[in-house]
Amino acid sequence: MSTSTAVKVPHYRWDDMTAEALKGGITRKLITGDRMMIAHVFLKKGDDVPQHAHENEQLTYILSGALHFWFGAEGEQEITVRAGEVVVIPSNLPHRALALEDTLDVDVFCPPRQDWLSGTDAYLRDK
C-alpha cells in the first residue's frame, strides 16, 4: 500500500496580478519558485534600463515591441530583440536596454533575483 502526500501547486493568472511601478513607464509582475523566477516587464517607448550586472542567468523573451541591448562593460555587442525573439544573458555580464517601442518582455532568472524581491534594485527605481 502506498502513501501519497498532497502537493499544493501554485497557479497564477498574469491578468489578476498587480503590477509594480518602477522608473519611467516600467512596470513588472513577478512569480517566483525556489530556484527560478519569471517576470512580465512592461516598458514604454524610450524607457531605459541602465547598465547593470547580476549573478543570475537571464532569458529575455519579447512578446511584443522591441528592446535594444548593449552587452559588455563598454557596450561592445549590440542586439535588437523583437517580438518572438529571445536573448540569453550570461551571469555577471554587464548589460543595458532601451525600449524602441512599447514592449512586453518575459524575463526568466535562475536563481531568483533577490534584489527584485527585496526592493533593493535601485537602478530600476531611481526616478
For the segment 36-90, what is each residue's pLDDT rounded down to a tens digit? 999 999 999 999 999 999 999 999 999 999 999 999 999 999 999 999 999 999 9
Distance CA 125, CA 112 (A): 19
CB within 8 A of 68, min separation 6: which ones? 78, 79, 80, 81, 97, 98, 100
> DSSP per residue over 50-103, as a string?
EEE--SSEEEEEEEESEEEEEESTT--EEEEEETT-EEEE-TT--EEEEESSSE
The confidence score (pLDDT) of residue 126 equals: 75
Res 4 pLDDT > 80:
no
Domain-by-domain residue ranges, the chain? 39-125
Q: For the chain, what percent of residues have pLDDT higher than 70?
A: 96
The CATH number, out of the four listed (3.30.565.10, 2.60.120.10, 3.40.50.970, 3.40.50.10540), of the domain defined by the range 39-125: 2.60.120.10
